[in-house]
Amino acid sequence: MNITLTILRYNPKTDSAPKFQDFAVKVEPTDRLLDTLMFIKRNLDGTLSFRKSCAHGVCGSDAMIINGVERLACKTLIRDVVEQEGAVVTIEPLKSLPVQRDLMVDYEHFFEAYREVKPFLIPTRDPEHAEYIQTQEQRRQFDDPTKCILCAACYSACPVIRNKEADFIGPAAVVQAARFVFDSRDKGAEPRLDSLDRPDGVWACRSYFECTRACPRGIKVTKNINLTKRQIKKLKEKGQ
């Protein structure tokens, strides 16, 4: 099968502006887009830059925009893209994060927001037994956000961030906060309010649902943000 990848290339050190470059390649329909990028790097242009690690949809490092939609290159089958969208595939880096080179973006700001929400268990006491006991129902309460692989697809897709409507902490950071806020063993909701309960915290979300659409792990991102908003309101009512 012959396809053309149209890739947005940019080296901020040497280029005045990003520009698209076409690569015509012969691929197997069962190849993934990541395989094709690796083929190009090995055989056609060693300077093409992109991130990848696990190649199995687990590490989150190869999120990029494929035909205008945030996806993981390792989870995108060539056959599916070509059948549904044609044999010319456009690839761009994630939006709202500075481009380091080609498809590689700088995640510093994204991870700063992640660290801000204290994404770790904050218990107030030692466990009564050898471990903290939790029922299956209590565990189910935060099952959805545990699936997050910090790929930043939601961050790129978020119109609030993209259009600079607010300096939003970002959907992924709230999902990571929700992972612990709804954990019965955690008592860290209050210390997390500093980063969540402010205009650029959860309240900057305007429920566009683009994050939910973009998430390659199927996380109900907007729902998690709205549940966190509700939890913050409850906490504040209790404190009054």
Binding interface with ligand SF4 (CB under 6 A): 60, 148-154, 171-172, 175, 214-215, 217, 219, 221
154 or 169: whose CB is closer to ligand SF4? Answer: 154
100 or 141: whose CB is closer to ligand FES? Answer: 100
**Contact string 65-94 vs ligand FES (x = CB under 6 A):** -------x-x--------------------
Smallest separation, CB 212 to ligand SF4 (Å): 9
Stretch that binds ligand FES, among 4-12, 42-50, 60-68, 226-234 (CB under 6 A): 60-68
60 or 201: whose CB is closer to ligand FES? Answer: 60
The 3-state secondary structure of the chain, one letter per residue? CEEEEEEEECCCCCCCCCEEEEEEEECCCCCEHHHHHHHHHHHCCCCCCCCCCCCCCCCCCCEEEECCEEEEHHHCEHHHHHHHHCCEEEEECCCCCCEEECCEECCHHHHHHHHHCCCCCCCCCCCCCCCCCCCHHHHHCCCHHHHCCCCCHHHHHCHHHHCCCCCCCCHHHHHHHHHHHCCCCCCCHHHHHHHHCCCCCHHHCCCCCHHHHHCCCCCCHHHHHHHHHHHHHHHHHHHC
Binding flag, residue 147, ligand FES (CB under 6 A): no
Smallest separation, CB 220 to ligand FES (Å): 20
Find which of ligand FES, ligand SF4, none residue 53 binds, CB within 5 to 8 Å per kind: ligand FES
Residues at the site binding ligand FES, with contacts judged by CB under 6 A: 52-55, 57-62, 72, 74
